[in-house]
Amino acid sequence: MVELSSFSEFLPYFALGVLVGVAITLGLGAIKLLRWRRTAADLESALRSHSFELQITLEELAEKNHQLQQQTELDALSGIYNRAYFDRQLRAEMKRSRREQRPLALVLLDIDHFKKINDQYGHVTGDQVIKKVARLMQQQLKRPADKLCRYGGEEFALILPNTFTDGAAALAENIRLQLAADKQQPLVTISAGCFAAIPDPASESDEFINFADKALYQAKAAGRNQVHVYPHGLMNPQPAPEGELNEH
């Protein structure tokens, strides 16, 4: 009876000890949980901050890549596509034209007597003429797929997907008329050569360039300020002004 009485006396203390232990455990658990939540919130905040910084970095990198691409694809003087872009784009459009069995047109355009303009008015004016011609040509393009490139010196090239010879010649003639109508000194005219076809499997870009160049040469040999097509010949001939030299 003495042992049972002693146990009964210690039972409240034992229960109290258990409750205190549970309370301490729960308290410590709650503290750890709060710490974990705080840590998780801090990590989430840090992750959001890093994600935002990464997004800004990626956007800056994309902008720099775009600028670099422009530097490698655009002509510094005229602002239009350069010769390297022309070579790549013509090959790509020939593959597309061959695959889709749609015509591809190439127009080569040359500023008439550009050397005389440089000699008479100076190279600064010559550069302004190139800019003016490039700007006018670009304004005449209505389709995003049409590409204007500076082929070299005073020569330009138009790559016109899904375009037959007549359409290419009509665009070149419109450009010629627009320039001829501008009476600002120095007077500027252009000659143009056009070629269009659906490339066959053996076709090379050099063939398109060669045929368009032949048409351009015919236009210049016939007196300039006119559009020729290959292989059909003259389109809307314009007599050369009296006294002009027949130089290429």
Residue 131: which pLDDT band, with cuts at 50, 70 and 90?
A: very high
The helix/strand/coil state of 183 is: coil
> CB 237: neighbour CB atoms within 10 A?
14
Dist. CA 49–CA 60, nearest whole Å: 17
Checking if the pLDDT of 14 tops 70, the result is no
Number of Cβ within a 10 Å radius of residue 77: 13
> Can you give the pLDDT at residue 31?
81
Of residues 200, 179, 201, 207, the one with CA closest to residue 106? 207
Residue 132 has pLDDT above 60, yes or no: yes
Is 204 marked active-site? no
d(CA 44, CA 46): 5
Task: List, for residues 142-159, the tens digit of each pLDDT value.
Answer: 999 999 999 999 999 999
Instruction: Round to whole Å and give the CA distance between 165 and 163.
Output: 7
What is residue 135's predicted lDDT score, i.e. its pLDDT? 96
CA dihedral sign of residues 191, 195, 196, 199: negative
Contacts of 72 (CB under 8 A, 6+ apart): 84
Q: Is the backbone of residue 234 left (phi > 0), alpha (psi -120 to 50) or beta?
A: beta
Q: Which residue reads 């997907």 in tokens?
A: 161
Q: Does domain 83-235 have CATH number 3.40.50.300?
A: no
Percent of the chain at pLDDT exceeding 90: 60
**Tokens standing for 11?**
């039972």
pLDDT at site 29: 74
Q: What is the pLDDT of residues 195-230, one digit of tens each?
A: 999 999 888 999 999 999 999 999 999 999 999 999
**pLDDT tens per residue across span 75-117:** 999 999 999 999 999 999 999 999 999 999 999 999 999 999 9
Query: What's this model's pTM, rounded to 2 decimal places?
Result: 0.69
Catalytic member of 63, 73, 93, 154: 154
pLDDT at 33: 77
